Amino acid sequence: MIAVMLRALVVAAALAAAVGVACSKPKVDPLQIDRGILTVSNTTSDTWTNVEIWINQQFRVTVPSIAAGSRFQVPLGSFVEGFGRRFEFSRMQIRDLRLIAKTSGGAPVELKKEFAKTGLDGIQLGGKQ
């Protein structure tokens, strides 16, 4: 009798865990690049103001605000450096992508895209890195 109850309890716990995982939303990367378009997702409850988005610490786009819970999309060709040259996605590599802004309360917002290492950079040789 105890074995049957224990088995039923284990099955119920496994079912509850599976339902919990299936119902949870996957975490959205706030900075996503797809086919030459950058999508910024503000999943917070604060509006971001005075938004600056930088590629390679050289090319920049500014946005007055991104509302809480909304997305902002911009073509990568819209990023411009100080001398007016535009970022050319087909010819240039993105090594660094970051966003800086302020919340409606004045707190700083700083996001940096983490890129997976590929090619020779992805090879880990002995020792700490």
Average pLDDT, the chain: 84
Which distant-in-sequence residues (6+ apart) come within 8 Å of 103 by Cβ? 44, 46, 47, 48, 49, 109
Query: What per-residue confidence (pLDDT) applies to 114?
Result: 86
pLDDT digits 0-9 by tens, 64-97: 999 999 999 999 999 999 999 999 999 999 999 9
Over its length of 129 residues, how does the chain's per-residue pLDDT go in tens digits?
666 555 655 555 556 555 555 556 677 799 999 999 999 999 999 999 999 999 999 999 999 999 999 999 999 999 999 999 999 999 999 999 999 999 989 999 999 998 877 666 656 555 554
